[in-house]
Amino acid sequence: MSRKNQAFSKILEQFHREFRYFTENYMIAVKKGANVAEKEIKEAVKDRDQPFEVIVIKLFEAIKKGVLYAAKQMVDFGFKQTKDESRKK
């Protein structure tokens, strides 16, 4: 195998490893966000005597809270990743 092929192979391996790491963290963040939304949704529909519009607004807010939680997890992951990269150099 030529040096170019070895270098390219190493780059692809590193890319694959980083992509798996990102994907794993993304799945964890989405799951945690879904758990946050689930708790909020259960709380929102506990009182079934509310007007329909109120329930819809609460459901939307619960989903938004879950999405924001997942987004924060990914931002934290990005900062950690950047910090780890700067340590390696």
pLDDT, tens only, 3-50: 878 888 999 999 999 899 999 999 999 999 999 999 999 998 888 889
Sign of CA dihedral 33, 37, 40, 43: negative
- Note the pLDDT of residue 2: 79
The predicted-structure confidence for 64-80, as pLDDT tens digits, reads as follows: 999 999 999 999 998 88
28 exposure class (CB count in 10 Å sphere: 0-12, 13-18, 19+): middle
- Note the pLDDT of residue 1: 63
Specify the DSSP class assigned to residue 69: H
- Note the pLDDT of residue 87: 78
60 exposure class (CB count in 10 Å sphere: 0-12, 13-18, 19+): exposed
Domain ranges, ordered by start, for the chain: 28-88
- Note the pLDDT of residue 89: 63
Length reported for the chain: 89
